[in-house]
Amino acid sequence: MDSSPPDLVAYGSREVPDFLLALIRKEVRSQRAYVVPGARPVPIKLNQNESPFDVPELLKKALLDSFLDVEFNRYPSEQPTGLIRALESKLGLPPGSVLVGNGSNELTYTLGMCFIHPGDPVVLPRPMFALFESMVNLYGGRVIGISPKADLQFDVDALLSAIDEHRPPLVILTSPNNPTGLAMDFADIERVVKSASGFVVVDEAYHEFHSSKSALSLIDQHPNVIVLRTMSKAFGLAGLRLGYMIAQPALITEIMKSRLPFMIDRLSEHVALRLLDQSSMVDDQIQTMLENTASLTKELQSRKDLTVLPSQTNFILFKADREPGKFLHDLADQGTLVRNMAGYPELKGYLRVTSGTANENKAFLKALDTVLLT
């Protein structure tokens, strides 16, 4: 039998032969790389649930000035202890409860690495932020997706039955939920936590926009609860990539073993620390975002051609009796970019608009009215 290695040079520099591609795990090859569908450069960007408020210029300048003292040639500390302590003290948590990551997206992979064995069932309500399902698939888990009720609210009874039937090592909730904008009642989150025999992750990326009790309050009594938060939304730091995970310290100690060192670069740590000191500015921005979302919802509801979901976040789902891909492009032609939700089978026909500044929302409504007339 010929055991000599294949002549790879024969394939040239552009082609990767099939036998090499076949060495890539099938769980990876069956995925699609993450792209934001329908994105194109237009003046008003309302497609990614970002804060419309950048860090004010004066504060940015002061931050960058103080960053001049930071040595770029030195590694950051293995874990950003200053930032971790600041988050723990802001949230009133015992030391060791927080783990920081390069955006909460990155921390979802940590969940997969720690909790999912190939073939494990993972129960989650649908529609859910797509990254979670792809993470489960990448780690070889089996998604048990629970359909929502007809009004897109969580079907908590169906969720509880699935937990009872499959006994999953991991249940994932997002509340308030992206892409629906709807929150799960705290009492229902508690029922899920109590009925689960494995871990329950509650992604609270949009918590600051919703007044309900946080799942953080369950951590003390329930060692299976893990909360994810981010500074990308209410804190307006999507460009810097800062998310964090909260759980009982003994669990964080274990999860920490799966982490790469130096996950957070020094600029992100520096800016996040200073922003945590600016709570009155951030609170004002959140208040404005809430008011703008409420008035945008009202405006959308007043247009008789639209179906609109009431939002508990900073974005709104709506639909018209139109093909959503064309609807999105017609709106983009008018200068505003929203998101097509067609990738979620439960949300066929829906578009999602992030609430921006008052002026951005006005421009979006003008674009919408122009398109609805055609």
**63 burial level (CB within 10 Å; 0-12, 13-18, 19+):** middle
Q: Is the Cα dihedral 252, 257, 263, 269 positive or negative? A: positive
d(CA 54, CA 57): 8
Per-residue x/- marks for ligand PLP, 18-57, CB under 6 A? -------------------------------x--------
- φ, ψ of residue 45 to 5 degrees: the values are -105, 105
DSSP for residue 208: G
Specify the stretch interacting with ligand PLP by CB under 6 A; choose among 7-15, 74-82, 100-108, 290-298: 100-108
> Nearer Cβ to ligand PLP, position 235 or 327?
235
| CA 29/CA 315 separation, integer angstroms | 32
Min dist. Cβ of residue 50 to ligand PLP (A): 8
Identify the helix (H) or strand (E) that includes residue 336: strand 336-337
Closest distance to ligand PLP from the beta carbon of 244 (Å): 9
CB closer to ligand PLP, 143 vs 372: 143
DSSP, res 301: H
Supply φ then ψ for residue 176, to 5 degrees: -60, 150
Paired tokens of 285: 């921005």
Options 80, 103, 181, 236; binder of ligand PLP; rule CB under 6 A: 103
Q: How far is the CB of 267 from ligand PLP (least distance, A)?
A: 16
Helix (DSSP H) and strand (DSSP E) numbers for the chain = 14, 13
For the CB of residue 203, give the shortest distance to ligand PLP in the complex, in Å: 5
Question: Least Å distance between CB 4 and ligand PLP?
Answer: 46
Burial class of residue 370 (count of CB atoms within 10 Å of its CB; 0-12, 13-18, 19+): middle
- Beta carbon of residue 370, minimum distance to ligand PLP (angstroms, whole number): 28
- Among 47, 51, 97, 104, which residue interacts with ligand PLP (rule: CB under 6 A)? 104
Longest CA pairwise span in the chain (Å): 76
The closest residue (CB) to ligand PLP is 103
Single out the segment in contact with ligand PLP by CB under 6 A; choices: 51-59, 83-91, 103-111, 298-306.
103-111
Say if residues 125 and 148 touch (Cβ distance below 8 Å).
yes
CB nearer to ligand PLP: pick between 107 and 114: 107
The interface region with ligand PLP, picked from 66-74, 97-105, 189-197, 274-282 by CB under 6 A, is: 97-105
Regarding 129 and contact with ligand PLP (CB under 6 A), the answer is: yes
Amino acid identity at 309: L
Amino acid letter for position 142:
R
Q: Which is nearer to ligand PLP, 206 or 318 (CB)?
A: 206
Distance CA 195, CA 167 (A): 9
Under the binding rule (CB under 6 A), the answer on residue 124 touching ligand PLP is no
Number of residues that bind ligand PLP (CB under 6 A): 13
- Please give the residues from 242 up to 261 whose contact with ligand PLP meets the rule CB under 6 A: 243
String of DSSP letters for 84-151: HHHHHHHHT--TT-EEEESSHHHHHHHHHHHH--TT-EEEEESS--HHHHHHHHHTT-EEEEEPPPTT
Q: Angle of helix 358-373 relative to helix 279-301, nearest 10 degrees?
A: 20
Q: How far is the CB of 313 from ligand PLP (least distance, A)?
A: 9
Q: Which is nearer to ligand PLP, 201 or 365 (CB)?
A: 201
Residues 211-240 that bind ligand PLP (CB under 6 A): 230, 232, 238
Q: What is the smallest separation between the CB atom of 124 and ligand PLP, expressed in angstroms? A: 12
Report if residue 324 touches ligand PLP, rule: CB under 6 A: no
Asked whether 232 and 103 are in contact (CB, 8 A), the reply is yes
Site for ligand PLP, residues 176 to 205, rule: CB under 6 A: 178, 203, 205
Exactly one of 47, 51, 110, 174 binds ligand PLP (CB under 6 A); that residue is 174
Binding stretches for ligand PLP (CB under 6 A)? 49, 103-105, 129, 174, 178, 203, 205, 230, 232, 238, 243
